[in-house]
């Protein structure tokens, strides 16, 4: 799959402002099963979606790819197309440039949100847009360089925005604690479905906290526990212990599951405490 071929097909389209390489490939985490993610940043006032769909169909091996318009995949996954090029899967993902810019401003100001979104069982955290901008490789952009401007805005307060770090730690420590608290009775009553879902949410919240503690941008919950386990600041044997909780749940051993869950929550809270103090001092 040649990126140059994609650029040649898309760079002259009205309203297209930037083309980027994203996903696991640009982060060096891709394997044989990974798709190639191509992000298309666009101006909603000028984009012509039928023209864009035609260009994507010319790139697709079958020539029949459909472009899903903004809103088709939910409020945050902005639309796009699943295609095959040279026998390999290539996903085109739409991003409205101005909305991404506003979301980065929100993150810089410590306004972190999570929303229901298909394809994201934990939810779509708005800082995913910041992670996409941080991680992506620009392969083409218009003369105004809008994607470069987004990258510049994101690092305007440092390599990892301190307000975003603090807000992420506070929000998701609370989310984890609330999920753990609300699942205790379900665990003791043997409601495995509810308890497993609540623990999944707690584990994903811990991953958010661990990435923030390490000042690393997090793309989404997929592979999150594995990636968090590679970082310096984390509970000991984090991945093993998270997997052990699922084992305890499957074996209907609520007592041991509760002990491990509460131990992990306590350790993550202890890891976060110094960072909170440092943040307060920096803001004085």
**3-state SS class at 50:** helix
Q: How many domains does the chain have?
A: 2
Could you tell me the residue range of the domain that residue 258 belongs to? 162-283
The reply to whether 97 and 195 lie within a common domain is no
Domain at 251, CATH number: 1.20.120
For the residues 102-117, what does the mean pLDDT come to? Answer: 97
Cα gap 62→87, rounded to integer Å: 10
pLDDT digits (tens, 9 = 90+) for 62-76: 999 999 999 998 999
Residue ending a domain, among 108, 124, 154, is 154
Cα gap 132→217, rounded to integer Å: 9
User: What is the pLDDT, as a whole number, of residue 31?
Assistant: 60
pLDDT digits (tens, 9 = 90+) for 135-144: 999 999 999 9
Q: Which residues contact 38 (CB under 8 A, 6 or more apart)?
A: 3, 6, 19, 20, 21, 22, 90, 91, 92, 93
List strands edge to edge, sheet with 16-22: 80-85, 88-96, 36-42, 16-22, 137-141
Q: Could you identify the residue written with the tokens 């989310």?
A: 175
User: What is the pLDDT, as a whole number, of residue 19?
Assistant: 98
pLDDT digits (tens, 9 = 90+) for 237-283: 999 999 999 999 999 899 999 999 999 999 999 999 987 654 443 33
pLDDT over 90 (residue 183): no
Residue ending a domain, among 119, 154, 189, is 154
Global pTM value: 0.92
Strands 16-22 and 137-141: antiparallel
The reply to whether 54 and 189 lie within a common domain is no
User: What is the pLDDT, as a whole number, of residue 196?
Assistant: 94
Domain at 82, CATH number: 3.30.460.10
C-beta of residue 187 within 8 angstroms of C-beta of residue 199: no
Half-sphere exposure of 214 (CA within 13 A, CB side): 19
C-beta of residue 199 within 8 angstroms of C-beta of residue 179: yes
User: 2: pLDDT confidence band, cut at 50, 70 and 90?
Assistant: confident
* Number of CB atoms found within 10 A of residue 153's CB: 16
């Amino acid at each position: 799959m040649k990126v140059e071929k994609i650029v040649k097909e898309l760079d002259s389209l009205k309203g297209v402002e930037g083309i980027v390489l994203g996903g696991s490939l640009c982060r060096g985490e891709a394997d044989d099963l990974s798709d190639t993610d191509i992000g298309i940043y666009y101006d909603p006032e000028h984009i012509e979606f039928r023209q864009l769909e035609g260009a994507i169909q010319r790139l697709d091996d079958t020539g029949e790819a459909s472009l899903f318009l903004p809103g088709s995949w939910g409020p945050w996954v902005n639309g796009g197309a699943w295609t095959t090029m040279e026998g390999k899967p290539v996903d085109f993902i739409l991003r409205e440039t101005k909305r991404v810019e506003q979301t980065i401003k929100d993150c810089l100001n410590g306004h972190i949100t999570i929303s229901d979104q298909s394809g994201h069982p934990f939810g779509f955290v708005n800082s995913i847009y910041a992670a996409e901008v941080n991680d992506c490789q620009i392969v083409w952009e218009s003369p105004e360089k809008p994607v470069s401007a987004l990258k510049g805005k994101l690092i305007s307060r440092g390599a990892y925005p301190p307000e975003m770090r603090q807000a992420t730690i506070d929000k998701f420590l609370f989310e984890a604690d609330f999920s753990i608290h609300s699942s205790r009775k379900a665990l003791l009553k043997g409601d495995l479905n509810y308890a497993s879902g609540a623990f999944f949410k707690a584990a994903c919240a811990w991953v958010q906290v661990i990435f923030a503690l390490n000042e690393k941008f997090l793309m989404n919950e997929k592979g999150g526990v594995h990636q968090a386990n590679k970082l310096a600041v984390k509970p000991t044997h984090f991945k093993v212990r998270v997997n052990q909780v699922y084992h305890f749940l499957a074996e209907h051993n609520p007592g041991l599951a509760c002990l491990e869950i509460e131990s992990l929550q306590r350790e993550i809270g202890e890891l976060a405490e110094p960072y909170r103090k440092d943040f307060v001092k920096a803001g004085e």
